[in-house]
Amino acid sequence: MATPRFADLSEEDLQELLDSRSSANTKKLIKSSLAVLTTYLEERGRQISELEEGSIDQLNCVLRKFYAEVKKVDGERYAKKSMVTLRYDLQKHFLKVRNEDVINDERYATCTEMFKAVKRDGVGESKQKDPLPPEDISKLYDTVFTTENPQGLQKKTIFEYFYYFCNRGRENLRELQKEDFTVCVDSSGREYVTVRENHRGDDLHDDSSKQARMYDKPGDPMCPVASFKTYMKKLHQENPNFWQRPKRMFNPSDETWYDKMPVGKNTLYSFMSNLSDEANLSRRYTNHCIRATSITTLDHSGMEARHIKGVSGHKSENSIKTYSSKLSDQRKREMSDILCENLPRKIVKTETSTNCTTEVSLCTPYTGDPQQPHGPDLFEFDDNEVDEILSQIITHELNEVVSSTNTVTHSSVPQQRIPLSEMSALSSNFNFSNCQVTLNFR
């Protein structure tokens, strides 16, 4: 008897084929979102089975209240993106168990309207991750990152993977394979590393929107490409995973520094948090903070948003603005210094002593009183008048203030004229001894 040309699949076989299209991550998200709805129902004495088997009106009513009342464990509202993900996951679940679309079916218009209202007015703010300041990055390179041992080399490689390729905290991190990376040479002769954005298990292919490259730094002992090549060379040849567990015992001359076992996902997901504690950084960061550091650095360096999103993978330039609006400590210091430069300057020269303190102040409001211990206000006159006034300034009698001794209570210096040509060298024209002198130019 001839073998049938076409397979005869049961309904279970067909459903299994459909289920296999969803990646493990997608299934995990659906399970997580369903758990939120289940917990919500249990707090109200109900079961998820009631919605899976009940009427359309019943499910519509419950989802309407759920969208309005759902909150995170800490009592805060979910961010907009999280709410969209939650709703999409529930849509997929009820499509499977009820064959009904709770998003597009007009019979679920009531809960759809509530979701739109909540998303517009009641959704929690999405919190951007803080970038690492230069001081913390320097501390990592000075105290942790190295190419001399497997632990330090791997930590440097993980950090630079996030930094140069702008990847999110957990995005395909555990699934990376050695074959996903390629070392190339551009038209100028410089080496660079690229990574293939492989969404394993999904219906997506390589993400061509990301064009990030990690270039070499010739002559730099911490060159990212050189350390990457060293890391690749030391990986276990029989393990296809890119993140491999470092050997506990190793010799620098060993060909292999890493075991055949992959690094655990929890270790990878908490990489930056653990690294923050190890290096005693200024605060505890997450993996996503490295991505924020890359985007913020490029933005502050003057790169256009349309170019940055070519590296970060953002779909719109508006997404970059959320990073642009967050100022780093360094930029805050620069802005404060710029504002300070616009204020009147006070130049001080002091000579310390335990006997006395002397202060001279110039360029403060002048009343015409020859006994006034200050000069005229230069901002009230034009250039010619300033020249005339400065040529007539006479230093007042210098009064000492005794700080820690009673041996000196008062002294004076002869009055003298200060020509304008000598004003720039004023601080070097006075000689004092056994006293502290402060010259103030305000």
The domain spanning residue 255 has which CATH number?
Answer: 1.10.443.10
Quote the CA–CA distance of 308 and 298 in Å, as a whole number: 7
Quote the CA–CA distance of 91 and 85 in Å, as a whole number: 10
Residue 344 covered by a domain: no
CA-CA-CA-CA torsion sign (64, 106, 86, 76): negative
DSSP category for residue 204? -
- Write the burial class of residue 290 (CB in 10 Å: 0-12 exposed, 13-18 middle, 19+ buried): buried
277 and 199, same structural domain?
yes
138 and 47, same structural domain?
no
Residue 70 covered by a domain: yes
Residue 300: the pLDDT is: 81
Residue 18: the pLDDT is: 62
Residue 348 covered by a domain: no
Q: Which helix (H) or strand (E) holds 225?
A: helix 224-234
- 415 contacts: CB under 8 Å, gap ≥ 6: 394, 395, 396, 397
Residue 170: the pLDDT is: 74
Residue 187 covered by a domain: yes
Residue 411: the pLDDT is: 41
Residue 261's SS3 state is strand
Contact 67, 121 (CB under 8 A): no
Residue 127 covered by a domain: no
Q: Say what angle helices 305-312 and 287-300 make with each other, to 10 degrees.
A: 160
Quote the CA–CA distance of 128 and 147 in Å, as a whole number: 32
Residue 3 covered by a domain: no
395 and 329, same structural domain?
no
pLDDT in tens, the chain (442 residues): 566 666 676 766 666 666 665 566 678 888 889 999 999 999 999 999 999 999 999 999 999 999 999 988 878 888 888 888 899 999 999 998 999 999 999 999 999 999 988 877 656 555 667 889 999 999 999 999 999 999 999 999 999 999 999 887 777 788 899 999 999 999 999 999 999 865 444 433 344 456 789 999 999 999 999 999 999 999 999 999 999 999 989 899 999 999 999 999 889 999 999 999 999 999 999 998 998 898 888 888 888 877 887 777 777 766 666 666 666 677 677 777 777 777 776 555 555 444 444 444 444 444 445 554 444 444 445 556 655 655 555 444 434 433 433 333 344 444 444 454 454 444 444 555 555 555 554 4
Residue 212: the pLDDT is: 86
Pair of tokens at residue 391: 């040529």
The residue out of 67, 100, 122 marking a domain boundary is: 122
379 and 231, same structural domain?
no
What DSSP string runs through 294-316?
HHHHHHHTT--HHHHHHHH--SS
Residue 378: the pLDDT is: 42
181 and 138, same structural domain?
yes
- 263 contacts: CB under 8 Å, gap ≥ 6: 154, 241, 243, 244, 245
- 279 contacts: CB under 8 Å, gap ≥ 6: 136, 139, 140, 143, 144
- 206 contacts: CB under 8 Å, gap ≥ 6: 196, 197, 198
Residue 341 covered by a domain: no
Number of domains in the chain: 3
The residue out of 93, 122, 151 marking a domain boundary is: 122
158 and 92, same structural domain?
no
The residue out of 101, 122, 143 marking a domain boundary is: 122
144 and 114, same structural domain?
no
417 and 294, same structural domain?
no
DSSP category for residue 79? B
Q: Which long-range contacts (CB under 8 A, 24 or more apart) does 185-188 make?
A: none
CA distances from 148 to 129, 226, 388 (A): 31, 13, 69
218 and 363, same structural domain?
no
Residue 338: the pLDDT is: 76
Residue 181: the pLDDT is: 95
- Which residue do the tokens 């942790």 mark? 144
Residue 342 covered by a domain: no
Give the alpha-carbon dihedral of 230, 232, 234, 237, to 10 degrees.
Answer: -160
58 and 99, same structural domain?
yes
- Give the range of the structural domain holding residue 172, as residue numbers without chain letter: 134-334
55 and 199, same structural domain?
no
Quote the CA–CA distance of 378 and 364 in Å, as a whole number: 8
183 and 52, same structural domain?
no
Kindly report the pTM of this predicted structure: 0.54
